[in-house]
Amino acid sequence: MLRNIIICFCLFAACCSFGSQVNRIVSLGPTVTTELNILGVGNKIVGNTIYSKDSKNIAKIGNITEANVEKIVSLKPDIVFATDLSNPTQLALLKKLGIKIFTMHNPHTYQAMCEEFVKIGELVGRKSRAESIVEKSNREVNVLRAESSKYPKQKVFFEIGANPLFTITKDSYINDFIKFAGGINVASDASAGIYSRENVVANAPDVIIIMSMGIVGKQEKMIWAKFDTIPAVKNNRIFIMSADKLASSNPLSFPGTLKEIMTKLHPDKVK
């Protein structure tokens, strides 16, 4: 019996040991880097994209779409975290050279985001820390959801690209921001691609949220001002939000951003 327990313990340790043996991590996306930092393994990152602003001596291995295979190999990573935007040919080359890769897919829902976060935690030996962060996030989100369900639903148009016009469909977790905040995404059933401004006018959203890109955000606001049949325009409920907060969300930041959106949707009600 004791022998069995010892064997089980050893197997269990072996399973966990990969996680604790991860000492050198390469990240191919700033979102991943942020999550790794949250999990407390930021000091194990040896390679990063040029977009991650950290002051440490971390090697730069490329940008979000192009990674330098040679550089990565020379860093001898234990694991490489890739994203949907990483070049598949380069990933195939890394795989061929025996490097372990985990590809993060842009989560379609908040739940998927949490599951992926836990998976990352598992891979770097911080599973329990990941799980507790997710648990806390879930609690806060549920509280906010309960609150927003009391308020009348608001029709929302979420603009993430101007010239041409791009929006969020139900394929993105940002859709969950809208849902949980008590909003209805007017474009949720649309297919990918350029969205027609006509459709927005026809859908008459109560709120328009523009994911800002500097001056473009202000210019877009002025364009929308021409369509004063839209309630959002009439009632001056067009908001600009920062792209970082929205596009690089993680379970830790999610509740905070959700609250911010809720205040935009239900201004008199949320404090």
Partner 1 sequence: MIKSRPSKYILLISVLIILLIFVSIVSLCVGSAQINFSNIFDILFYQHNTWQYSVLTEIRLPRIVLGFAVGGSLGLAGALLQGVFRNPLVEPYTLGISGGASLGVSLVIVLQLTSIFGLFVLPLAGFIGAIITMFFVYFLSAKKGVLKINSLLLTGVMISFISSSLVMLIMSIAKPEALHSIIFWVMGSLAQPNNNLILIALIVSLIGLIISYFFCIRLNGLALGEDEARNLGINTASTRKWVFLIASLLTGLSVSVAGVIGFVGLVVPHMIRIYTGPDHRILLLASFLTGAVFLIISDTIARVIISPIELPVGVITGIIGGIIFVYALNRKQMRL
Cis check for the bond before 267: say yes or no (omega within 30 of 0): no
Query: Which span sits near partner 1 by CB under 8 A: 17-25, 92-100, 129-137, 198-206?
Result: 92-100
Residue 50 CB, shortest distance to partner 1, in Å, is 8
Closest CA to 254 of 155, 83, 109, 104: 109
d(CA 264, CA 162): 21
Gap between the terminal Cα atoms of the chain: 59
Binder among 17, 21, 43, 65 for partner 1 (CB under 8 A): 65
Per CB under 8 A, 10 contacts partner 1: no
Q: Strand pairing partners for 145? A: none
Binder among 7, 16, 97, 143 for partner 1 (CB under 8 A): 97
Residue 191 vs 236, nearer CB to partner 1: 191
Per CB under 8 A, 61 contacts partner 1: yes
Residue 13 vs 97, nearer CB to partner 1: 97
Residue 92 vs 143, nearer CB to partner 1: 92
d(CA 242, CA 222): 18
Query: Which span sits near partner 1 by CB under 8 A: 18-26, 69-77, 182-190, 206-214?
Result: 69-77
Residue 98 vs 152, nearer CB to partner 1: 98
What's 14's DSSP letter? H
Binder among 90, 167, 185, 212 for partner 1 (CB under 8 A): 90
Q: Tell me whether strands 45-48 and 59-60 are parallel, antiparallel or unpaired.
A: parallel
Residue 77 vs 205, nearer CB to partner 1: 77
Two tokens, residue 262: 């809720």
> Restricting to residues 155-194, which ones interact with partner 1 according to CB under 8 A?
171, 191-194
Residue 68 CB, shortest distance to partner 1, in Å, is 4
Kind and range of the H or E run holding 108: none
Closest CA to 38 of 205, 254, 264, 200: 254
